[in-house]
Structure 1
Amino acid sequence: MYETEANPTYQQIARSIEFLTENFRQQPSLADVADRANLSEYHFQRLFSDWAGVSPKKFLQYLTLDFAKERLRSGLTLAEAADEAGLSGTGRLHDLFVALEGITPGQFKQAGDGLTIRYAVFESPFGPYLLGTIGDKICRLEFLEEAEPTDAMSIANRFATDWPEATILPDSAMLRPLADTIFTDAERKPLRVLVKASPFQLKVWEALLRIPEGQVVSYDQIAAAIGMPAASRAVGTAIGSNPVGYLIPCHRVIRKTGLFGNYRWGATRKTALLGWEAAYAGK
């Protein structure tokens, strides 16, 4: 059992989290919250990040985003949701969504209405995969089994959960140059990804991006990396819902026993991906 009463640092950070949760609509500054903890801004920033797994600013952004999403779902306009969340305008709300959610608040509210998703099925060293983009950003990379249907209706259903109102168009000619850069031994350019995610999912996927190529970590290690060591099961659920395979490398997470475990696109494919990356990293 933890003796929290004898641990002033824990109490300071716990009070700070409670203060942010209750007052995020006032958008308190780092100085305001550090003052509550009776710490300098520098020491508060460092201690909060160690205990909570994210910076005070990022934690405040997560709280604000969750609230704004709830208000948008209730029917408020972008301006009204921004105002109720304590933001100075829709520009701040837009920046918050793009930074944490990967989409604009308008796109979230419209469920993809007005957006065009272009898709095509390509071959990779690990079998066929569905590639979907919105503009120049990848919104889906999903490995397919050989017998899976790829007709227009089946593909549209794959996008329906995240983007039910979007226009879905096949366009292999436009996507071919992008596809040619994904699975290659050449120096890879950073690829832009656009996802819809809860703050928790986003934290997990960001942690996956920090795993070096050719290495593996456990679900417990990911949970610890995001500051939630008891959440390994929830971490597994978030990893399993990753819509952009390979680029958001959920295949690099294994069980703490050393077994590779489950993979959304098959254990055999996961083994092949890890072996391929290990060979590439060793060159």
Structure 2
Amino acid sequence: MINRIFVISSLFISINCNAQITDIKLSDDVKLDRVYLGLVSNTSVNTTDFERENNVSLQAGLMLTYSLSKRLKLRSFGVIKYENDEQAQAFTSYEVIYDISDNINWHFGAVSTPTTELRPNPTTWKSQTETNAQSKIIGGRIGTKVNFELSPNLKILYGFFNHNGIWANHLKLNYKFIKIAGFIEKNTTFLVLDINTKRINSTITFEPNYQFSKSIFINFNRGFSFLLESEYSMIKEKINYGNIGLRKYFLSSNKRLKGFLSIGYNPIGTNQVTGSFAIHI
């Protein structure tokens, strides 16, 4: 495993880049949309018995687009994640994109659903450090979706996707800094709200009769963010997760490495204080 990590790291670090590496033209019709390599480390201490837990993850990925014509494209990404001594996780996507007009495009394949689009893309650092609320959002599935751009500030996305043998209807609405999405799958409904402004970044997920989760970042000057998270179980009728955290973001002087240092406290159940860092290109 260590050898594989070294090879992947050498490959990415050898590319001359700024954080994050994006939009590299490989040929007239092939573009490297994103390159990502990140390391995240967490050290947690239980304030009751002072037991320590450690967690380290390495995540790497690429996203490519091949333009067959002015309106027809193929897009794919591949991501691999190593975490402690656990089996490696892999995330992939392969889709066909057809621009019906300047304001309407159609996607089909193994791709992110309209609801999935409110979860951080796996080829970005936010995926590796996603919040508890973001982790509740469904991953990509096989299906199709159509994106309608009604105006620069208003977009609607409809999708029809297979959820392990059950077909589900997805809908997403973007209006300025607000995104609302969800799906109906037989007897299951899921909703997610995302608010993204200069000062506030918040994700709220809701699954009726099951759970309600929320995370909110309050962004201050000089690269500091304050994080609040909670999750309420409707089955247990109690709050079963909470987290309070503070992050300090940084960017290296040569702009090749980016990341953050953080400290957090989970007052629900575990009573853990966690110190973390994330660094990526």
Q: Same fold (TM over 0.5)?
A: no
More strand, by proportion? 2
Q: TM class, shorter-chain normalised? A: under 0.3
Bigger Rg over Cα: 1
The two structures have a TM-score, normalised by structure 2, of: 0.27
More helix, by proportion? 1
